[in-house]
Amino acid sequence: MTDMNPTSEERDAYHAFLLRLWRTQSQGKTQWRASLESPHTGERQSFASLEQLFAFLSERCEGQPPEDDWRPR
């Protein structure tokens, strides 16, 4: 029987997100934007660049909580 209440360590070992990517034009330059949505909670986080997205994922995979100011303004 599968345990329906995973431990904190088990939750940190697996991450699922719906990833959306799109391009925008700003001052004649093309830039990628991204968002991640949790299929479990519906929470969505947006990123102004791929670098911000990668930094968030890197922090999440290293088991460290993301910085409070990671969100673009």
Name the pLDDT band for 61 (thresholds 50, 70, 90): confident
Of residues 33 and 1, the one with the higher pLDDT is 33
Predicted local confidence at residue 15, as pLDDT: 84
Residue 15 near residue 28 (C-beta atoms within 8 A): no
Residue with tokens 């997205």: 53
Mind listing the pLDDT tens digit for each residue in 12-33? 678 899 999 999 998 899 999 9
φ/ψ (deg, to 5) at 25: -110, 130
Name the pLDDT band for 66 (thresholds 50, 70, 90): low
